[in-house]
Amino acid sequence: MSESSSMQGRGYVLAATVSFLNETVGPANSQQIINGLSSDLRRVVQNVQPAEFYPITLFAELNRALVQHLAGDDEEKARQVLIQCGRHMGREASNTFLRLLMKMLTPKLIVKKLPDFWRRDFTFGRIEVQTSERGLQCFLFDMPGYDHCCPLSAGWQEFNLEAMGKTLEKTAIHKWSLAEPYQQGTSFEIHWKA
């Protein structure tokens, strides 16, 4: 098995991306975008199973299509679209019980579990998280080919932190661009009010 075929992620991430696309551009426009995808990705999108694993190449293709159709070559707009998609993913992945639980947790406790959550949902890569009193920084490693994973992850964590009752002040993405949608050690940092 090649490295790229062993790199897989759970279907619910694909499903949430398609859901974001539907919500953002409407079902008809979303379907037009999906019609332009590869036959493999179209087939998966039509019957995605949330708990099943799918090749990361499909995630990257869908992320690139999202950026192309919603932001074009505008890097700042692309960053915002991806962060908003990540927030949508977080919302889709949570349920009422998890939201209540997150309000009782602290950011330091939840970030200790982030590497475990990653390993549950992806067969590759690793994350390292550093925290401070009013912020966190998350580094992503060993994810070649998973285009735009950093701003998506940042948006997801924005959702988590707000679900815990934090008021966010600033999010920054490092070592990410449209020209280089993944680099080893790319990271995001999020700061919140005391």
Instruction: Tell me if 96 is assigned to some domain.
Output: no
DSSP 155-189: HHHHHHHHHTT--EEEEEEES--SS-S--TTEEEE
pLDDT tens-digit map of 115-143? 988 999 999 999 999 988 899 999 999 99
Statement: residue 99 has pLDDT above 70: no
Contact 157, 136 (CB under 8 A): yes
Instruction: Tell me if 161 is assigned to some domain.
Output: yes
For residues 128 and 173, state if they share a domain: yes
pLDDT tens-digit map of 36-52? 999 999 999 999 999 99
pLDDT tens-digit map of 149-165? 999 999 999 998 898 88
For residues 107 and 184, state if they share a domain: yes
If one counts the domains in the chain, the total is 2
pTM (two decimals): 0.93
Single-letter code of the amino acid located at 68: Q
Torsion of CA 149, 71, 26, 14, to 10 degrees: -10
User: Tell me, what's the pLDDT at 111?
Assistant: 75
Instruction: Tell me if 122 is assigned to some domain.
Output: yes
For residues 121 and 83, state if they share a domain: no
List all residues 6 or more positions away from 118 whose beta carbon is below 8 Å from its beta carbon. Answer: 125, 126, 127
For the chain, what is the mean pLDDT? Answer: 92
Residue 154 structural domain: 101-192
Statement: residue 71 has pLDDT above 70: yes
Instruction: Tell me if 51 is assigned to some domain.
Output: yes
For residues 30 and 64, state if they share a domain: yes
